[in-house]
Structure 1
């Protein structure tokens, strides 16, 4: 079993890579060598949740920075100015924590996209190579509340870097203001050198192919027959309090077990605690602690909180407990999970709908994307509880 610093270990540049990950590292480094004098080049890394995208990205960056800072004079990557960008505060904490213990990495090598763009515009200096983790979280429209006045994060990053390497998964788009699609990403490939590499080996969920298919289907709203799997602990609960008790027992034994929920219960950033109640179960949402240097998933005290997609995206857990909240129900007519966007409490996810075709369907897609993210966190187990009694009953029948 992994321990409570599993995320830091997982993303360590010293971690051994698989064959495809090593091939990807070599491909990206070769791409950078070939195009380091070009005005603009784009490399796209695609892959579903759990395929090791962030792992290999940080290994690539460590290789680039080692050569940039220690390379010989004839090394084409020597002296280059490189960055990693991620629009996810919890992941940024993790990357900076790792940088503090690596000889060729610095905390200042990692930044949020808006900060990078605004600093570059102010100084007029371009970076050489920029790696973007979780590129599906980049903004696709202005967000003046967060000081981004331009139209598209990636467009601006390409403006301020010679080579851009992005990690992308369209099934992890969570907001209208980050409304990415494969087609939209394709528009940025045109007119510049571009390569794509797809990672498809699942490294996180240590389950049989049948169980992984069951989880993947659930994240799309589909209900498949469930098979016994001795390699993965998949449980459906009729009692949320019992789920939490069992999860706490697993956490005491193995560590790195956390409870998560769809964003279907009221939560406001007002400094107060907000709670999720399901029968005898009553627990607060995760607290917003922007000054906390340790990511939410790695803090031992957060077993006493319920995490959201925003605190857990990009992280691994040994066991994940997941509450399917009121926005999800059993659609008996189609024998699948139905979605009620009006019950989804993340109103910010649906701001900026201009230009989005079929916004009602897009809302459902965002909710299912968020579900997909939280369902795919557990390495060794997944415990499920549904708010809707009919959905609970149907899940128990799978």
Structure 2
């Protein structure tokens, strides 16, 4: 019974971002440093603090803790320089925003209105001709880098517009999690923002999500950069390659019964539309529907019991944890045995929205491949206890099986 209760707590995404959760010594020191940065630059026109870190390095938890402390000071500490400051936490991810607002409803220092999508913040501040004191941005790699009429963004770069409307911006960023050209970042552009105003940066490296030896991280990193290496030796983290997608799904269901928070995921290589109809991820013998869009549901996709009968996309799962992930690599990822390397085919990738605006990006064919590899990186860095892989391409499947 105790194990079940502990699993239920650990599986709850609210626990993952609980602003009162104990931070590591590194995170505590960084949090203190960031507050000192805010005190130092409180009266500057603009200042930026950039937190870099790969998936699973505790970026969102750190932001949640910082924002809760900041709002506590703003409301309750007249002796502090940050008293009565107007502060916001922004995230361009509807599932993550839902989670933050749920946390706000259970935390005395936080208000739902202080959590917004970037476009909402930009348009509201523009209309009111106002400027925020401190703005935190989670998943800043999802910020738009070009106009997007669909999302009511009329300017050219969301970060630039947020900086204009804020005194201090604190953001977390991972270049390997950019998934669309309208959010396509180059390090040169980010460097320009940092050089234009007082700024500092910090790199988080400690991995909290993937409970594995370093060789697992190296394997995932190499694969998500288009390279293959032998599979790591057997260890507590359960890493397997499957010859059959149904067999992998059956194991995921077994693990879900034991531990919860185990789901099937796939690269965006299968048709999907937001038209209310069901669409499916299929192999020769396997067929399971894509995740259904339920924007009104309060629970994240992975925590809803019915989604064990669905396949999650990179957009559904980005920013969230699983215990075990069964990943289907679709037709856009294949293998050339003569060259002994992965082959990425953007024409087989079904996420057409990801490529919108590619004509304005230098070396767009390479950039398209990078988008797909980034999506693989997101999928492969979700699971805490184990990751299972099935490749649709027969040559890639054969190669991966041989690496075992």
Q: Could you state the TM-score of these two structures normalised by the residue count of structure 2?
A: 0.96
Q: Which of 212, 219, 226 does residue 221 from structure 1 map onto?
A: 226
1:275-290 counterparts in 2 under 5 A? 275-290=280-295
Q: Which residue does 1:76 correspond to in 2?
A: 81
- Equivalent of residue 172 in structure 2, options 163, 167, 172: 167
- For residue 391 of structure 1, what is the aligned residue in structure 2? 396
Structure 1 residue 279 displacement after superposition: 2.5
Q: Which residue is 1:208 aligned to?
A: 213
| 1:36 CA displacement | 1.6
1:297 equivalenced with 2:307 (yes/no) = no
- Report the alpha carbon displacement of residue 181 of structure 1 after superposing the two structures with TM: 2.0
| 2: CA distance, partners of 1:229 / 1:201 | 22
1:15 has 2:21 as partner:
yes
> Is 1:260–1:308's contact at 8 Å kept on the other side of the alignment?
yes
| CA deviations over 1:100-120 (Å, ceiling 9, x no partner) | 111101111110000000011
Q: Identify the match of residue 196 of structure 2 among 187, 191, 204.
A: 191
Maintained 8 Å contact 2:262/2:322: yes
Which of 78-87 and 210-219 deviates more? 210-219
Query: In 1, Cα distance between the equivalents of 2:97 and 2:152?
Result: 18
Please list, as runs of the form range in 1=range in 2, the aligned pairs for 1:1-398 lying within 5 A after superposition. Answer: 2-3=7-8, 5-71=11-77, 73-398=78-403
Cα distance in 2 between the residues matched to 1:382 and 1:36: 45
- Equivalents in 2 of 1:333, 1:148: separation in Å? 46
**CA offsets 1:149-192 (integer angstroms, 9 cap, x no match):** 00100010001111001100111111111111221111111231
Once residues 121 and 26 of structure 1 are traced to their aligned partners in structure 2, the CA distance between those partners, rounded to angstroms, is 31
Please give the alpha-carbon distance, in whole angstroms, between the structure 1 residues aligned to 2:374 and 2:220.
13
Q: Distance in 1 between matches of 2:108 and 2:140?
A: 26
Q: Do 2:11 and 2:260's aligned partners in 1 also have CA atoms closer than 8 Å?
A: no
- How many residue pairs were aligned? 397
The residue that corresponds to 2:3 in the other structure is: none
